[in-house]
Amino acid sequence: MRIEDVYIWDINAKWLGITPYQLMENAGAGVARVIEEKFGKGLKIAVFSSTGNNGGDGFVAARHLSFENNVTLFLVGDEIKIRSDEARHNWEILKHLDFITIKVLKDSSQIKPLNLDEFDVIVDALLGAGSKGEPREPIRSAVEKINEYAGKAKIVSVDLPSGYPSDVRVKCDFAVTFQWDKEEYRDFKRVVAKIGYPKELYHLVGPGDAKFALQKKGEHKGQNGKLLVIGGSEDYFGAPYLAAKAASHIVDLVYLAMPEYSARRINDPNIILRPFDGKNFTKEDVEDVLAIADNVDAVVLGPGIGEKVETKDFVVEFLRWCEKPVVIDADALKAVAEDLDVLKGKKFVLTPHAGEFRILFGEKPEGSLEEKAKLVMEKANAVGGTILLKGVYDITSDGKIWKYNKTGNRGMTTGGTGDVLAGIVGALLALGNEPLRAASVGAFLNGIAGDTVKDEMGENFTALDVAKKVPFAIKWVLEF
């Protein structure tokens, strides 16, 4: 697991009702427990905390350790700068305790003369994984002071040595890191303490994933994604429009390539129409559509495209030559089912429901969530791409791991919500996300948009209602 996953899990845990207060309490208690298991009790312990959340973990550890040890807490910095509510809450508790000595060290001049000879254990709760570069004063002086006692006292860091990975870092005997070891952590000993995350968080997609997926890349037009939607036929024009409409709320530019016959029905200034002669796409259109694809970041292929033989030929030939990440949706899935080899070496997301999954792979997903997930993962691995299986719980896998989404409601059985989903996934691909994140977060945002509509209108609504709520879903995520 990576450091980024810590932030995602914390946000998703909050969404499940596990508060930051609980996580900080469990983290600090975990540090205290490991220290007593390793070194015993009846110790003199110095805890160095800063004003961030790593310091908050230190406040909790100090409280737990104080029950059977003599604890002094050094706050490095000004207490008015204690940032989070949960860290401040635990600081206020400490200030009311008579058996913990508190010393506030506002600048380096107060740190340099410190004598720590009396302490058996020094706890480093100064800087967490979010800090960058070498520590600044007065933290730097605190790091240097702790290091004076390396080899004399036992030094234990909270999560990671403060200052890591810079050269100015705490020389700890070990760090107590939380829930799992991190890919980025090297060159120091670690002990893992669980802090109460449930198993769901390994697989559940939530607002934490969405926050990272929605990060903007630039400040100029076109830098935050350009998407091409290819769809429509003599029978359908609404489906590709729904995909394009949903995507237009996420990326800077959306191009919509449609047969001219159905394109005449579209009138939306937010979408750039690219009509093609005739009623359906044919192989003759491939070269011109590829020319448009050259200028975008991702493609959605299939909404309303139909099942004409010449259109299936178009789909397969387009995919053969397309080099952009692509969402393959709706009738395009049936065309691909006849020639899965065309996907080799491509970056893609397949978006089948259970029936389309059976057409693609000859098996219908059945059984428990985990049984379905195992099948989706197996087939994703076999085709070398990402599969988003739509259902009551949407299941996404890239063949290595799987995620599931539980947002959405029964009203979303209405026609067209799958097209909205395809547009959102395509937009997230266009923002530069890997297919697994684009697909899983797309399902989450689609469901949040649908739940927003349900809250206002009940369960009787249209897919266009859902598409229009995409910006509200994004706002909810970014403010969560």
The burial class, CB within 10 Å (0-12 / 13-18 / 19+), for 472 is: middle
Instruction: Give the residues across from 109 on adjacent strands.
Output: none
pLDDT at 8 over 90: yes
Sorted by sequence, the CB contacts under 8 Å of residue 40 that are 6+ apart come out as: none
Phi, psi (rounded to 5 degrees) for 193: -120, 130
Task: Of 464, 392, 470, give the one whose Cα is nearest residue 425.
Answer: 470
The band of 367, judged by pLDDT with boundaries at 50, 70 and 90, is very high
The burial class, CB within 10 Å (0-12 / 13-18 / 19+), for 429 is: buried
3-state SS, residue 284: helix
pLDDT at 258: 98
CB 146 within 8 A of CB 71: no
Cα gap 178→194, rounded to integer Å: 6
Task: Of 186, 168, 169, give the one whose Cα is nearest residue 177.
Answer: 186
The band of 243, judged by pLDDT with boundaries at 50, 70 and 90, is very high
The band of 344, judged by pLDDT with boundaries at 50, 70 and 90, is very high
Peptide bond into 138 cis (omega under 30): yes
pLDDT at 86: 98
pLDDT at 1 over 90: no
Alpha-carbon dihedral angle through residues 176, 182, 188, 191, given to the nearest 10 degrees: 30
pLDDT tens column, 117-150: 999 999 999 999 989 999 999 999 999 999 999 9
pLDDT at 363 over 90: yes
Residues of the chain with pLDDT > 70, as a percent, come to: 100
pLDDT tens column, 67-85: 999 999 999 999 999 989 9
pLDDT at 217: 77
The band of 480, judged by pLDDT with boundaries at 50, 70 and 90, is very high
Cα gap 233→303, rounded to integer Å: 9
Kindly state the average pLDDT of the residues 42-52.
Answer: 98
Phi, psi (rounded to 5 degrees) for 46: -105, 130
Residue 185 structure tokens: 């952590």
CB 464 within 8 A of CB 449: no
Beta strands in 399-470 (DSSP E): 402-405
Task: Of 205, 242, 226, give the one whose Cα is nearest residue 441.
Answer: 205
pLDDT at 304: 98
CB 179 within 8 A of CB 145: no
307: how many CB neighbours lie within 10 A of its CB? 14
Beta strands in 239-373 (DSSP E): 253-259, 272-276, 298-301, 326-328, 348-350
